[in-house]
Amino acid sequence: MDTKYPEIDQLDRQILSILMEDAKTPYTKIGEMLFVSAGTVHVRMKKMDDLGIIKRHQLVVNHEKLGYDITAFLGVYLRQSSMYKDASKQLREIPEVIEQHFTTGEYSMFVKIICRDTTHLKEVIHDKIQNIPSIQRTETFISLEEGVNRSIKLLEDEVDTEAK
């Protein structure tokens, strides 16, 4: 078995597709939709957890409803690409940093941050991120609206989610 791409079958993909659409779907409901027992769904999910296919179970909240009105992306230039691990470690310590990617192209890294307002954004960028010694400079892009945020579709013939 290829450890990079562990084998999963059509049932596993159907289970994942349903849960990626709505993670609150009970295993009993998934079992009914797929004509298997809730126990089978549970065993399959445990297997996919163990294989590392499922990275984590995460609650997604509306940050705006909690007073965080600014989403920004930073193109980060490192002093040297060899400083990536150090910069990444220090960025993990900043609570407002919610994503960080090592990239090709103009920037060494691309970082997503969530802030309360523009004053908070300025403080995070100027006082925290730009004070990391391995970061040379940053370019900021403020998101005006998120148009798409979804998981990739796993199935060509999607499970009938209308039945949920």
pTM of the shown model: 0.80
Q: What are the residues facing 100 on neighbouring strands?
A: 111
Burial class (CB in 10 A: 0-12, 13-18, 19+), 111: buried
- How far apart CA 135 and CA 84 sit, in angstroms, is 9
Cβ atoms 124, 96 nearer than 8 A: yes
Instruction: Give domain status of residue 93, yes or no.
Output: yes
Pairing, β 70-78 against β 97-102: unpaired
What is the largest distance, in Å, between two alpha-carbon atoms of the chain? 56
User: For residue 153, what pLDDT is reported?
Assistant: 85
pLDDT band (50, 70, 90) for residue 88: very high
User: At 47, phi and psi to the nearest 5?
Assistant: -60, -45
Number of independent structural domains in the chain: 2
User: For residue 156, what pLDDT is reported?
Assistant: 64
Cβ atoms 136, 79 nearer than 8 A: yes
Structural domain for 98, as ranges: 63-142
CATH number at residue 19: 1.10.10.10
Percent residues over pLDDT 70 in the chain: 93
Residues 1 and 54 in one domain: yes
Residues 92 and 36 in one domain: no
Cβ atoms 38, 27 nearer than 8 A: yes
Burial class (CB in 10 A: 0-12, 13-18, 19+), 60: exposed
For the chain, the C-alpha Rg in angstroms (whole number) is: 20
Task: Say yes or no to pLDDT of 158 above 70.
Answer: no
